[in-house]
Amino acid sequence: MKYFKLPGFVRPGSTANNLSLIILLMSIFLLPAFSGCDKDNDSPAFAPDFSFELADDNHVQFTNTSTGEYYSLVWDFGNQQADTSTDRSKSYVIYYPVAGEYQVSLKLLNFTGETKNISKTINITNTDLALSFTAEVLPDNPNKVRLTNTSQGMWDSFMWIYRNKEVADQTEYDAYFPYSGNHEIELLVNRDNNSFSLKKSVSIAQDDPDYIQNLTLAWSDEFDGAEVNQDNWTFETGASGWGNNELQNYTNGDNAEIVDGVLVITARKVNENTVPGSYTSSRIVTNGKHEFQYGHAQIRAKLPSGTGIWPALWMLGSNFNTAGWPACGEMDIMEYVGYDPNVVHSTVHTPAGFGGNGNGSSIIVESCEEEFHVYGLIWTEKRLVFYVDTPDNVIHTYAPPVKTDENWPFNKPAFFIMNVAVGGNWGGAQGIDNTIFPQTLQVDYVRMYQEP
């Protein structure tokens, strides 16, 4: 075999020749790539800029005058208004109601992720809308605050916001604060599709001793019809165990009836097998029909008896389907397990404590299976108070001093649930006595009182 000799090469197979060959190949294939790197990484030039002019004393028109290649524009108009857009030709007319200097910025983002900014100062010399209001505790009622809108200028509408309440277009309004402490009041003014806000804090020196007496009846079911009023209640059905390994099958009304002005929910035995479906019962809810946020709930009821029975009168957060449990919050006004006679339980379930770790207490009610008793809940933005018969006969109080989403999901609406379960993790903890059936939960009324 003959070898052709190239300049600078030695006989193939030698170490020097192999190194030379490697260097030559690298120069052929890699150098063009490296020589083009700087060129490819050079981003197209772009420069942010905008112009502005007064449309009138309090409206400024902004126009994008940026140059070069870029993808998006982020505007900050210096008055809590902002916008992000990919439309280069979009212009804005921004309202500045109060005289002063405002720093307006525009940020551009190009296709490689590079950003550039520019900011300019605009000067507004005219005050067109100045928000102000007074908040004075009434001398003859330390739990009411007179709010007066003293704002200057023109607006389309306004509202007072306090204690999760909204009151529209009342220049002078007496706001009610039943509990002591510092409370925030917001005046929200709308003009030209823009919203402007002013907040103040007011101090209330004492709780209102007449709070409960001043509540009025907002809704009730006295069960005085011929059958369960389905404008008020929905039957939830099935034998899924309901998250507690319960054994009853909830029916669509077969286990609930009205007898002499009393709702009667009956738990019946189907067979002796003590398995899911061996019993039938009812579970009724006001979900989607009547929901409440804060108030005084009362349920007058007589409880069933016997080992394995588990009735409950309770409320569940209306956002259950979206937030899930226990994030929606659960307020058990009354729970009863038949193997522990005459002991009534009230419990709160939140992400901070749920299931066996729920926050609750119990009380002895000697005649709960033989007589009707009122099971109540006083629900305010500060606390939950569960009681039996009278508000001073407290079962449990729940009032975390610092409220968070984890321990206080009770700042949203909730609905009523009444049911009789059979067996389950708690109700069936000591088995089921099949000789006790049928068993009935009897409810005279459900009432909800709220602030007028």
Around Cβ 333, how many Cβ atoms within 10 Å? 28
Q: Tokens 């079962």, residue?
A: 395
Q: Mark whether 335 is an active-site residue.
A: yes
Structure tokens at 17: 């020749």
Instruction: Residue 378: name the closest of 392, 363, 361, 357 by CA.
Output: 392
Tell me if 181 sits within 8 A of 204, measured CB to CB.
Answer: yes
Structure tokens at 315: 């409320």
Give dist(CA 374, CA 368) in Å, integer. 10
Q: 341 preceded by cis ω (within 30°)?
A: no
Q: Mark whether 186 is an active-site residue.
A: no
Give strand pairing partners of 221.
446
Structure tokens at 333: 């006004």
Residues with Cβ within 8 Å of 216's Cβ and at least 6 positions away in sequence, in order, are 449, 450, 451, 452
**What is the largest distance, in Å, between two alpha-carbon atoms of the chain?**
119
Catalytic residue among 330, 366, 370, 451: 330
Tell me if 178 sits within 8 A of 154, measured CB to CB.
Answer: no
Please tell me the number of Cα atoms within 13 Å of 76 on its side-chain side: 12
Catalytic residue among 172, 335, 366, 451: 335
**Is 31 in a helix, a strand, or coil?**
helix
The length of the chain, given as a count of residues = 452
**Is 235 in a helix, a strand, or coil?**
strand
The three-point CA angle 227-232-237 to 5° equals 75
Tell me if 202 sits within 8 A of 185, measured CB to CB.
Answer: yes
Give dist(CA 312, CA 246) in Å, integer. 13
Q: Residue 328: exposed, middle, or buried by beta-carbon count in 10 A (0-12, 13-18, 19+)? A: buried
Tell me if 411 sits within 8 A of 418, measured CB to CB.
Answer: no
Query: What's 238's DSSP letter?
Result: B
Residues with Cβ within 8 Å of 167's Cβ and at least 6 positions away in sequence, in order, are 159, 160, 173, 175
Catalytic site residues?
330, 335
